[in-house]
Structure formats: C-alpha cells, structure tokens
Chain A
Amino acid sequence: MSEQRKRAPGAELEAQYRAHGQAEPDAGLDRMIRARADQALARSRPRRPAPWIAGLASAGALVLAVGLIVQQTPPAPDMAPTAPPAPGVSDDAAPALRSAPRPARSAAEPQAGAARAPQAEAESAFMAELAETAPDAAARQLLEIRELIAAGELKAAREQLETLKNERPELEIPEDLARALKDPLE
C-alpha cells in the first residue's frame, strides 16, 4: 500500500468532507488578523526622523546658544537689575548672584523629583512588565528547566520542557538541554 493510498481515508468521504466541511473566518476576524500583521511590521520598522527635524534642531540649538550668551553677560554698570536684590545682599553682589545658580530653585528640584519618584517607579514597573516579551519569558523558562536539571529533578524538567515546546513550537530548544532531558526509554 503506497503512502498516498494510506493518506486517502476514502475518496467518497473526502469528497463529502470537501463539499460540506466548508467553514471560514468571518470578515471581522480577517480584518483583525491582517491589521495585527501590519501593526507588527510597523512596530519593527526603524523610525526615520522627519526631514524638518534637522532644521528645527539647528534653530533650537541656535536659540539656546544665544540665550546662554545673553544670560552670562554681566549687565553694564549703568543698567540696574530690574528685580530688587535679596535682602542683605549688596548691589555689588547682584551680577555675581545673577550668574550663580539660584538656591531657591535648586532646593525645589529634589522635592519635585521626589514627588515624581513613585509615579516613575510605577511607570517603569509597568514598562518592565510589558517588556517581558515572549522571548524573555521563554528564556526564563529555559533557565528554570536548567535549574531543575541541576537539582536532579529530571522528570519535572522534562514535563516543563514539554509544556514549553507545546506553548512555543517556534522556539529553538538548546541542544545541550534536549540531550540532557532525552528520555532513556525513547
């Protein structure tokens, strides 16, 4: 009996199956899957900066440079500072004070940073959770399997490897692992 013959369970049954076994996904499902496929490509495509970004960046840098120069230039002696100096500070000290960092501002910064800390922490935890991509999860599972082997729990390791292979058939199982877990009965 040829392989072809073995593969044909019965011509009339096959014909019946072909004729009446029709089923297909609905259009909505098709659309979702196609959109997902497109989205996956869009996500993996490297983003090219818009052509106007370079111009904008140059202009920004120029404005910043001019701003710094203006701020660091001491005022002319005949030009009194517009804001009154802090109490206890003489007029002579004003230019130095203007170029020095303002203590009130530098004290406020750590406070704002402290207020943002829990939020940033939550965000980073969320991102870390999202960042555990399928490959990361698989790598973690492989690590667990290695730990089981090291602990001599071969049966559990085999079971876990089997589950992993079922869940992720696309995954390459490292050769050493496959060898270590080869069932002696096989």
Chain B
Amino acid sequence: MNDARSDDDLMLAYARGEARAFEVLYERYRQPLYRYLFHALGDRASADDLYQDVWSRIIDARTRFRKDRGFKRYAFRIAHNRLVDHWRALERQGSGSEFDERTLAAPAEQQPESSNARQQQAHQLREALMQLSTEQREAFLLQQEAGLSLADIAARSGVGRETVKSRLRYAVKRLRGLLAPGAEAAGP
C-alpha cells in the first residue's frame, strides 16, 4: 500500500472522510503499536484489548487531530497512557502484572515454517522483557517501537531525562545478560 503522504497528512485526510488514508496509516502502525503493547504486557488477550482501545480513541478523536502533534508521538502517547491505566487498575485489584508464561501467545509458534530455534529465541526475548521492571520495559519499548528520544520518553513518563537514561541503561544491561548465549532466564 504505497502512499507518499506523511502520517499526519494521512490522519488529516482520514478526518476529512478519506477511508483509504486510514488504511495506509493503519498498515504503517499496526505492528509497532501492537508490539509495543504486547511486549509491555506479555499477554496477548490484554494486548488485544488495549490495542483495540487505542485505535478506537484515535478514530474517535480524528477531527481533533492537529498536524503539529505528530501522529507517531500521538499514537504512542495514547498507547502509553492506556498501559498506565491498565497497570493502575491491576494494582487497585491487588493483582500484580507478573509474567505468566501461560498467558503469552506465541505468534512465531503459530507459523509452521518457524524453526524450533527461532521459536525458542522469541520466547526467550519475551521472557527477558517481562523480567524488567515496568518502567524499564516501557522505556525500552518506547525507544524501540516509537523511536522516541530520551527527552520524549521522559516527558511521557513524567520523569527526568537522566532517570530515563538510567532505566534504559539498566534495561539493556539486564536484557543482554538474560539473552546472552547460555544464560538461563531466572524467575521474576
């Protein structure tokens, strides 16, 4: 689906009633947004719910979107806020969002052509991500999926730039350790 228009132009075109513009925009962001939510939650059912909710909000607010907002930042900000709400709700219910292997869907495993080794690595990566603290995981995913700068992540998370830097440094160090060949993923 080739369309040279920028994300913002597509969103504005959709707001004016052009259905195809949404198609293009959706195609561009379906994977990054989903990966962000899925890896942050480690649970496909919750990721599906939040993913649908994020897009619903984008759709409902289409006429209020302004070009200077930047669609990518805008979409990931909504996703981030929904994640925070989700975690707060879990805290209120008294249930932690601990990693539960059984709730992890295995997209790679659903593909028959995937090799066992590949499946194993994907599984290991998800496990390692879930062993990071929520804040570290969030910072890492915002950087990887949304391509946000330290300043942007700091603004979104409501903390200082140095804090984000340190979270990222710790996340990377921990992930490296967990994903190094021969490393055993320890329990959370």
Q: In the bound complex, do residue B122 and residue A25 qualify as a contact, i.e. CB atoms below 8 Å apart?
A: no
Q: In the bound complex, do residue B140 and residue A9 qualify as a contact, i.e. CB atoms below 8 Å apart?
A: yes
Give every chain B residue within 8 A of A29 (Cβ-Cβ).
Answer: 48, 51-52
Give every chain B residue within 8 A of A32 (Cβ-Cβ).
Answer: 52
Complex Cα gap A16–B176 (Å): 10
- Other-chain contact of B34, A10, A16, A24 (Cβ < 8 Å): A24
Give every chain A residue within 8 A of B129 (Cβ-Cβ).
Answer: 21
Complex Cα gap A34–B27 (Å): 10
Does B72 lie at the interface of the complex (its beta carbon under 8 Å from any beta carbon of A)? no
Give every chain B residue within 8 A of A6 (Cβ-Cβ).
Answer: 150, 165
Q: 0/1 per residue, A40-51, Cβ < 8 Å to B?
A: 110011000000
Give the interface size class of chain A.
35 or more
A residues 144-186 in Cβ contact with B at 8 Å: 166-172
Q: In the bound complex, do residue A20 and residue B125 qualify as a contact, i.e. CB atoms below 8 Å apart?
A: yes
Does A69 lie at the interface of the complex (its beta carbon under 8 Å from any beta carbon of B)? no
What is the total number of residues of chain B having a CB less than 8 Å from a CB of chain A? 56
B residues 93-111 in Cβ contact with A at 8 Å: 105, 107-108
Which residues of A come within 8 Å of B, CB atoms?
3, 6-7, 9-10, 13-14, 16-17, 19-26, 29-30, 32-34, 36-38, 40-41, 44-45, 134, 166-172
Task: Beyond A20-B125, A172-B64, list 14 extra A-B contacts (CB 8 Å).
Answer: A7-B143, A9-B143, A9-B169, A21-B35, A22-B31, A22-B108, A24-B107, A29-B52, A40-B59, A40-B60, A44-B63, A166-B84, A167-B81, A170-B65
27 contacts across the A-B interface (CB closer than 8 A): A3-B149, A10-B172, A13-B172, A16-B179, A21-B35, A21-B122, A21-B129, A22-B107, A23-B34, A23-B107, A24-B34, A25-B51, A29-B52, A32-B52, A34-B22, A37-B14, A37-B22, A37-B26, A41-B19, A44-B17, A134-B60, A134-B61, A167-B81, A169-B78, A170-B61, A170-B78, A171-B64
Which residues of B come within 8 Å of A, CB atoms?
14, 17, 19, 22-23, 26, 30-31, 34-35, 38-39, 47-48, 51-52, 55-57, 59-65, 74, 77-78, 81, 84-85, 105, 107-108, 118, 121-122, 124-126, 129, 140, 143-144, 147, 149-150, 165, 168-169, 171-172, 175-176, 179
